[in-house]
Chains A and B, each alone.
Chain A
């Protein structure tokens, strides 16, 4: 069992997704397209894919960028001390109940301040064994579909011993998008840039 990597805590949530926040100095762990989980106890946890990482500004930051130089101390102060969290938008893609994985929207969203973890390879392989969750990504209006699918496949194929997983995933995307040529082309274009 590898150490759990905490990437932040929940700020707000809905059934289809949630927003997690973290300090800037925690930002080396999460990445665009990564699979994350929010364990809620009682054998229930929600899985999601990060589709946006957002850093807000404020008045002070806007003013500091006009300064000639910013010292290391000021940089660290703003990144580690000031209360401006990095926000990660996560698309809910399924959940686990009593050891069984479902590629359905979760029955209940996570709650404020629930800890969000990065999925390790074992979780990643378990969750992505089947491709039912792809439809959540492909149907989402707010998500840059091609880029998220490409980034996710790049992350996930590392976790699979089956070297044909990437190929199977690509076939699944083609099947799901067979009636949507423009999106299919966008997704295949992005997938073409995935080098493993």
Chain B
């Protein structure tokens, strides 16, 4: 049966009726957030104390931790980058599918290297890793989609490390999404730890060679600065129960820095740099400590704040921070009305694995196994029923 649109319609009507009330609440919270931002913009010591006391009660608390720039500060894009090599990497994957005839996985990473103002065509690199047999059972536990994603993230950063070797001059590398490895912690703790260890090793190598690295988060949903404001406004009692304390729920960092009528960040400007206060700070330590800033890559009247995650070695060197800032603004401007780093889009184009390619690999693998007299299972009947062609008009 198709969707019961009658039921859906009724729910949509209800949602519509609540719109006015929701808008009123959100506007009140936004006004409060603006007020708190103005009040605490320069009170960095107070904010540090508040976050430190919250952290003492809950070390997993996740929020922005200001450094030495005012919360409301905005920094214009530095002059255009003249000499630098940019490398962007992106990955895609085929997750093992228990309904398929053959169990396999694939990590495909694409990268693109562009020398600014060289007039040269960029270089394209692809690395494809097929996962089969025991490789799908690290520590005897079937590899989950989350684990494949972790492996992909590690491969992306490793490729940036490999490609940046031997390049003279400044090198700026970036990937789509946060720098921090995410997810799958609980599924296979040993494998997770192994991935994190390798990942930190790659980040260290990039740092040793002075390579700038960043994670570009488009349309970020984590409201780290708003959470900082909530913590700032909490009294002693509220701070004890921070997990339930969300007076600014619904207000986003994107709105705070990119309000359409009155954006805190003019086009091309970045926000203050913040440290990421979270449970991951135990892993990312010293020069690898994770930081971020917001960057308005939009245009006049169309602000579009994105979050840029960087390690501390980039924060500590103003020239590197400025170069990254300039590069990202320029990369986004290249894409015209929908700003997004050109090279990240190209890396995605290079890396993306289509469904036909998945089927081709499955076919090649099945043929090779059969050729060598190994039994090949059938695909599940459930999958075969799903693949049946729907009714078509003749």
Contact = CB atoms under 8 A, between A and B. Distances in A.
From A74, A76, A80, A82, residue with most partner B Cβ within 10 Å: A74
A66 interface: yes
Given A60-B345, A82-B349, A77 B334 contact: no
Contacts of A74: 334, 342
B8 interface: no
Contacts of B334: 64, 67, 70-71, 74
B116 interface: yes
B205 interface: no
Interface stretch (B16-24, B117-125, B176-184): B117-125
Interface in A87-110: none
A77 B116 CA distance: 12
Contacts of A73: 114-122
A112 B100 CA distance: 32
Nearest to A62: B336
Interface residues of A, number: 18
A81 interface: yes
B222 interface: no
A142 interface: no
A73 B116 CA distance: 7
A89 B337 CA distance: 34
A72 B333 CA distance: 15
Contact of B338 (A63, A68, A80): A63
A91 to B, nearest CB: 32
A67 B335 contact: yes
A68 B346 contact: no
Given A77-B114, A82-B349, A64 B335 contact: yes
A164 interface: no
Going nearest first, the 9 A-B pairs with the smallest beta carbon separation are A66-B336, A76-B121, A67-B336, A72-B119, A80-B121, A77-B122, A66-B337, A63-B336, A73-B114
